[in-house]
Amino acid sequence: MKLIFLVLPTLFNCIYAQQLVDLKSFLGGNVKNPINAHAPYDVFVSATSDDADILNKIHLITEDKQNQTFMDLKNRKPFLTTSQIQPFSVQTLAYVTTNLTNEQIRRLTGMIYISTTKQLQVNNFHVIDIDKTQSLDLPNENQTILFLNSYMGSTPFKSSTISSWAQPSNASIYFYNGIPTDEPEKEDSFIFSNPVSTADFGNVFFPNVEKFSLSLGAFYIKYYGALTFQITPEYYDANDASTQPFTTTGFYMKPVNQSDETIRINTARDPAYSGNVGANIVGSLSKDGQVTVGEHEGLSFSQKSITPTN
């Protein structure tokens, strides 16, 4: 199964909502940039490709006299095997300031995530920085994990590759673009899931998930039950890939800055049995834009073109 996801990312700042703020949006020259959030809240910084000397000159200062450089915030990762970010809690008013010039600030590529009070108060919300290869062994719980990727060394930049997937049949996982809010997700707003939502067979669990990439600065998962996978800050080109098991699923995302192209997936098949191949397609295209999904079986060929919807 091949899934195509096209996204035009938009970030929103609202005083009582979660915020994902690009570091380049702050003003330099010792201006006090207020954090427009209702305390208490947590902050998390991802700035993989930004210079340490620069980050050491950017400060988060709170009304109760706490002073954290963005290098301090970036390095709040107490675990050896994963880059889970330890939250920095803010109990009062706070602002960001730096003596860097606006030109220096505009070259930053990192981001700061600002949670809400509700997220601060629950113990099943975590943030992971995709700054290295990590093997995630997720416990048998119901959790939300936000992934931040500020790595500019991949093409496309901010790409993450997920592989080595292992999931029991009684577990479920949903991937969402962007950041989680305090409100429930809209129905069927996920970009990938297992079990997979199908038109003809309902929700179908797949025992295997193929290696795939997402080119997003921020995405999150909600999962129920234990599962494991590896995540790496790099891009995986799925074109001409071959599936291994007969029953499998996967995901393909076309980044907005890539030209249109044809992606071919070679699916394994046992000729002794009949089978099905399908695709769920979500995303946004320009007017009259379409995605075509085709299937070759020996000399036979069929295809269908549709306009994706969010």
Cis omega (within 30 of 0) for bond into 156: yes
Looking at the DSSP assignment, which residues form a beta bridge with residue 35? none
One-letter amino acid for residue 104 of the chain: Q
Which CATH number applies to 19-121?
2.60.120
Helix ranges (H only) for 29-69 are 52-55
Matching fold, domains 19-121 and 124-269: yes
Q: How confident is the model at residue 310 (pLDDT cuts 50, 70, 90)?
A: low
pLDDT, one tens digit per residue, over 71-115 is 999 999 999 999 999 999 999 999 999 999 999 999 999 999 999
Check: CB of residue 139 under 8 Å from CB of residue 124. Answer: no
Q: How confident is the model at residue 13 (pLDDT cuts 50, 70, 90)?
A: very low
What digits encode the pLDDT tens for the residues 149-170?
A: 999 999 999 999 999 999 999 9
- Give domain limits for the chain: 19-121, 124-269
Q: For residues 16 and 223, which has the higher predicted lDDT (pLDDT)?
A: 223
Q: What is the pLDDT of residue 4?
A: 41
What is each CA distance from 63 to 25, 33, 95, 306, in whole angstroms?
22, 13, 9, 54
Cα-only R_g, the chain = 21
**Which comes out higher in pLDDT, residue 289 or 252?**
252
Q: For residue 193, list its beta bridge partners.
A: 174
> pLDDT tens across 32-63, in order?
999 999 999 999 999 999 999 999 999 999 99
Q: What is the average pLDDT value for the chain, to the nearest integer?
A: 91
Which token pair is 1?
């199964």
Fold of 124-269: Jelly Rolls (2.60.120)
